[in-house]
Amino acid sequence: ISRRRRATEAKHRGCEDPPTLPRKGFLGLGRLSEVSKANKEGRTPQWFIEKFEEVGQDVHTFRASALDYELIVTRDPENARAIFQTNAREFEISPHRKDIWSPLLGDGIFTAQGEAWKHSRQLLRPQFAREQISDLDVEEEHVQSLLNLSLLRSDKDGWTRAVDLAPLFLNLTMDVATEFLYGRSVNSQTQTPVESIGDSKRNDTNFSYHLEAGKSWLYTKGLFGRWNRFIHSTKFTDHCREVHRFVDELVTCRLNKPSVSKLESEIESSKPQRFFLLDELAKYTQNPLELRNETLQILNAGRDTTGSLLGWVFYYLARNPHAFSKLRSIILEEFGSNRTGEISFQKLKNCEYLNHVIQEVLRVAAVVPVNERFATSDTVLPYGGGPDGSSPIFIPKGMRILIANYAMQHREDIWGADVQDFKPERWEKRRGEGGHQGWEFLPFGAGRRKCIGQQFALTETSYVVIRFLQRFDRLESVDSEEVFFQYIFSNRSGKGVRVKMHEAAVGA
Ligand code: HEM
């Protein structure tokens, strides 16, 4: 009965069916093994583009199915607008998110829906206000720890040895994030022995290792939708336990802190206390589980994404010497060559070419290549139906939708014939046409659940780039391998970012 009612409603609303990606293999499992294979080969984001092409020329929305579930995949900016803005009330994050993530991260802002989400968002959003994130002292401290690593010291000829920047940036963002969240950095940069950087398995009491290994399990579970509970292992339980143990210690430590007022403690220490999120949250809730979950969810949302973005920035700069030189001369002009000189938050925010470089990296590499939503009631998306995709499509309650960001950011009809090229200058022309505010570019999501850490991530990335380019005047890639997307919810360079850097003469 409901199928018939929906068909009538769809007709009434002028909807037509979208094209379908043919099922493959027993129960449609062929498509799941296809995407797993693509993931192992480092091309999950491109796999989505291939599927649009497989379904048909100029197809931007299609229906796919596996096991007993169906979903819609779209790279149409107008559909994204409907999901995040016009019809936003009819879409939510899918319940799978909570189902899958909660054993590791509990329930918090990233996984909650409805009132529970509102509560988390209201609690956390003010903590990302400008005053908090414009304090760049924490950033400076940790960037200097990075730049002081022996791996980054240059030889007599001024060149560093070949170094993989990717794990170094992930360590950096872990240190900054733990300091911002817990007031105490894990100091992975100074505590990880040089020979085991990037090989966290060699140090398996390591918090980052357990978090990362736990997330790999979540990725596999995610592929199986609501059947994910059948994917289980004691290793996964161990990873969850270790991650929780680490955070619980910090939470207990904060909750047991004698309750002195901020003013008293400021007077006592005669210097202003540094902001940290756990400390602020503990003023609103004393529930240890809530404190664990919310901080862990922020750590998860912010650390890998920003670390991966930094890696990609250097990956593309190393392959585009013109962009590197142009950026370096602008940085020296704006911020000087003093490697410890002050970098003001406002100046950093206004440095246009630096922003364009970062935007372009987010476009070509898409740190979050796919986003998702779920229809909370019967609704429509404006495009994708009928032979030319120009009719609306009917979305029944419960249907899951994947918004294929990477594929949307690589549409030649939107971005032009040079869509595959790394070209920061394209953002100059896009100004005034909606530019990065357009629906074809949503690196930080959109609508009411838009990323709350966007400015935090952009500030951190810009800061690190400025300090590196003040010190190094040349950057060369030492590998010529094809791009390899290592995708576990966010997307990093799976072959690392192997470069050599040349140290500029002091003052140059
Ligand atoms: C390059 C860096 C980053 C990228 C590309 C990124 C991307 C995103 C995207 C696409 C979403 C939306 C997910 C959705 O629509 O369901 C999101 C949400 C979120 N991000 Fe980020 N993010 C980054 C950094 C950060 C940082 C640094 C933090 C915090 C320190 C953070 C915290 C969050 C949180 C808490 C949410 C959930 C918001 C909500 O559901 O209300 N992110 N991020």
pLDDT above 80: residue 230: no
pLDDT of residue 33: 87
- Residue 146 — very low, low, confident or very high, per pLDDT cuts 50/70/90? very high
Q: Which atom of ligand 1 is nearest to the CA of 309?
A: 1
pLDDT at 412 over 90: yes
Most confident stretch, 90-99, 137-146, 178-187, 227-236: 137-146
Query: What's the CA-to-centroid distance between 256 and ligand 1, angstroms?
Result: 30
Q: Is 494 within 8 Å of 170 (Cβ atoms)? A: no
Tell which atom from ligand 1 comes closest to the C-alpha of 181. 30
204 has a pLDDT exceeding 50: no
Could you list the residues known to form a binding site, using ranges.
451
Q: Does residue 381 have its Cβ closer than 6 Å to ligand 1?
A: no
Model confidence band, residue 482 (pLDDT cutoffs 50, 70, 90): confident
CA 476 – CA 497 distance, rounded (Å): 10
| pLDDT tens for each residue of 273-324 | 677 889 889 888 899 999 999 999 999 889 999 999 999 999 999 999 999 9
Query: Hey, what's the torsion of the CAs at 464, 445, 415, 367, to 10 degrees?
Result: 40
* Residue 202 pLDDT grade (very low, low, confident, very high; cuts 50, 70, 90): very low
CA of 451 to the centre of ligand 1 (A): 4
Instruction: Please name the residue that has the structure tokens 């091309």.
Output: 43
Q: What is the mean pLDDT of residues 222-249?
A: 83
- For residues 75 and 384, the answer to whether their CB atoms sit within 8 Å is no
Q: Is 55 in the pocket of ligand 1 (CB under 6 A)?
A: no
Nearest residue by C-alpha to atom 21 in ligand 1: 451
Q: Which residues lie closer than 8 Å to 344 by C-beta, 6 or more apart?
A: none
Question: pLDDT band at 253, cuts 50/70/90?
Answer: confident
Give the residue-averaged pLDDT of 35-52. Answer: 93
pLDDT given at position 433: 47
C-alpha 453 – ligand 1 centre gap (Å): 6
For 391-397, which contacts have Cβ atoms below 8 Å and span 24 or more sequence positions?
391/14, 391/15, 391/16, 392/13, 392/14, 392/15, 392/16, 393/15, 393/16, 393/17, 393/18, 393/61, 393/72, 394/6, 394/9, 394/10, 394/13, 394/15, 395/72, 396/6
Nearest atom in ligand 1 to the alpha carbon of residue 297 is 35
Instruction: Kindly state if the Cβ of 361 falls inside 6 Å of ligand 1.
Output: no
Please state the rounded mean pLDDT for residues 490-495: 91
Best-predicted range by mean pLDDT (26-30, 195-199, 237-241): 237-241
Ligand 1 and 305: CB distance under 6 A: yes
Report the range of poorest mean pLDDT among 65-79, 81-95, 214-228, 341-355.
Answer: 214-228
In tens, the pLDDT along 369-399 reads 999 999 999 999 999 999 999 999 999 999 9
Nearest protein CA to atom 15 of ligand 1, as residue: 445
**Residue pointed to by tokens 């994404």:** 305
Measured distance CA(372)–CA(282) in Å, rounded:
31
Q: Is the ipTM of this complex over 0.95?
A: yes
From the CA of 93, give the closest atom in ligand 1: 16
**Nearest CA owner, ligand 1 atom 27:** 302
Largest CA distance in the chain: 79
Q: Please check the confidence at residue 432 and state whether its pLDDT lies above 50.
A: no
The predicted-structure confidence for 342-352, as pLDDT tens digits, reads as follows 999 999 999 99
Q: Is the pTM of this model over 0.90?
A: yes
| pLDDT tens, position by position, 149-171 | 999 999 999 999 999 999 999 99
| Residue 434 pLDDT grade (very low, low, confident, very high; cuts 50, 70, 90) | very low
Could you tell me if the CB of 176 is within 6 A of ligand 1?
no
User: What single letter denotes the amino acid at residue 215?
Assistant: K
Indicate whether 363 pLDDT > 90.
Answer: yes
Mean pLDDT of 21-46: 88
| Ligand 1: centre distance to CA 493 (Å) | 19
Cβ of residue 398 lying under 6 Å from some atom of ligand 1: no
- In order of their start, the domains of the chain are 1-96+369-419 (3.30.43.20)
pLDDT at residue 11 is higher than 80: yes
Phi-psi region of 434 (alpha: psi -120 to 50; beta: other; left: phi over 0): left
The answer to whether 294 touches 285, Cβ cutoff 8 Å, is no
Please give the DSSP secondary-structure letter assigned to residue 448.
Answer: G
With a 6 Å cutoff on the Cβ, whether 306 touches ligand 1 is yes
498: left (phi over 0), alpha (psi -120 to 50) or beta: beta
Tell me what pLDDT residue 90 has.
Answer: 97
Q: What is the mean pLDDT of residues 265-272?
A: 52
User: What is the atom index within ligand 1 of the atom nearest the CA of 405?
Assistant: 10
Higher pLDDT, 488 or 360: 360
Ligand 1 within 6 A of CB of 80: no
Q: How far away, in angstroms, is 105 Cα from ligand 1 center?
A: 15
Regarding the beta carbon of 401 and ligand 1, being less than 6 Å apart is answered: no
Mind listing the pLDDT tens digit for each residue in 50-63? Answer: 999 999 999 999 99
CA 454 to centroid of ligand 1, rounded, Å: 7
Question: CA-to-CA distance for 210 and 201, rounded, in angstroms?
Answer: 9
- Closest residue (by CA) to atom 8 of ligand 1? 444
pLDDT at 201: 53
The residue-averaged pLDDT of 467-483 equals 93
Mean pLDDT, rounded, for 201-218: 75
Task: Report CA(56)–ligand 1 centroid distance (Å).
Answer: 32
Say if ligand 1 is within 6 A of residue 121 CB.
Answer: yes
CA 31 to CA 41: how far, in whole Å?
15
How sure is the predictor about 272, in pLDDT bands with cuts at 50, 70 and 90?
low
Q: What is the mean pLDDT of residues 74-101?
A: 93
Ligand 1 centroid–CA 136 distance in Å is 20
> Does the pLDDT of residue 148 top 90, yes or no?
yes
Question: CA dist 411 to 51, 76, 374, 440, Å?
Answer: 14, 10, 24, 9
Best probe residue, ligand 1, of 451, 465, 485 (max atoms within 8 Å of C-beta)? 451
Under a CB-based contact definition with an 8 Å cutoff, are residues 427 and 433 in contact? no
Contact 79, 389 (CB under 8 A): no
Q: Look at residue 192 in the predicted model and tell me its pLDDT.
A: 67
Given a cut of 60, whether residue 503 has pLDDT beyond it is yes
Binding residues for heme, as ranges, are 451
